[in-house]
């Protein structure tokens, strides 16, 4: 049997030691005007097109060149072989360890379409027009195989 005095003392102690808590709903802010999006100029936050704030991506420039676009042709773990499209097209070898890049010297301005590693640190690169497979070695591309086709799309 619980004594009335002990019950009252326990209730008073519990009431005195607890703090009141008020729950509120999470508020979401959405913006619909173009000015709201343009004003979001935080360095690490972005205002997404649905009106929500998110962590923004961080970008570092790897390389800059006068080509219209880059596409990755190959990756052997140590370096990337990139094709720069447009006129003139060019090959660029990017060394991952040194974070440096160098253009690969070719005789003509070609479009490069595919690549394979030859296992020796060299690359075989298909090109067009002309249908020539180049071997990229020591920063220079030399004709390796002439296919007789207009373009080499796969090796």
Stretch 110-116: mean pLDDT = 68
Query: What is the spatial distance between Cα 122 and Cα 141, in angstroms, rounded to a whole number?
Result: 10
pLDDT tens profile 121-148:
777 887 777 788 888 877 777 888 888 8
Q: Report the helix count and the strand count for the chain, using DSSP H and E.
A: 2, 10
Per-domain residue ranges of the chain: 25-59, 69-146
Query: What is the spatial distance between Cα 90 and Cα 108, in angstroms, rounded to a whole number?
Result: 9
Instruction: Classify the phi-psi angles of 68: left when phi > 0, otherwise alpha if psi is within -120 to 50, otherwise beta.
Output: alpha
pLDDT tens profile 16-54:
766 666 666 666 556 566 666 565 555 567 777 787 877
Share of the chain above pLDDT 90, in %: 0
Q: What is the pLDDT of residue 97?
A: 72
Query: What is the spatial distance between Cα 124 and Cα 143, in angstroms, rounded to a whole number?
Result: 10
Question: Hey, which bits of 33-122 come out as E strands?
Answer: 45-47, 53-55, 69-75, 79-85, 90-95, 100-104, 111-117
The predicted model scores a pTM of 0.48
| CA 115 to chain CA centroid, nearest Å | 21
């Amino acid at each position: 049997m619980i004594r009335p005095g002990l019950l009252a003392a326990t209730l008073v102690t519990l009431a005195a030691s607890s703090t009141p808590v008020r729950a509120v709903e999470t508020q979401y802010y959405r913006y619909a005007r173009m000015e709201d999006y343009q004003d979001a100029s935080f360095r690490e936050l972005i205002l997404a097109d649905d009106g929500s704030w998110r962590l923004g991506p961080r970008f570092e420039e790897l390389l800059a060149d006068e080509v219209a676009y880059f596409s990755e042709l190959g990756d052997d773990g140590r370096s990337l072989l990139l094709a720069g499209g447009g006129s003139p097209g060019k090959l660029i070898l990017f060394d991952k360890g040194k974070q440096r890049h160098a253009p690969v010297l070719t005789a003509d301005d070609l479009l490069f379409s595919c690549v394979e590693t030859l296992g020796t640190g060299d690359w075989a690169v298909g090109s067009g027009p002309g249908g020539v497979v180049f071997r990229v070695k020591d920063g220079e591309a030399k004709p390796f195989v002439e296919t007789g086709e207009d373009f080499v799309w796969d090796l």
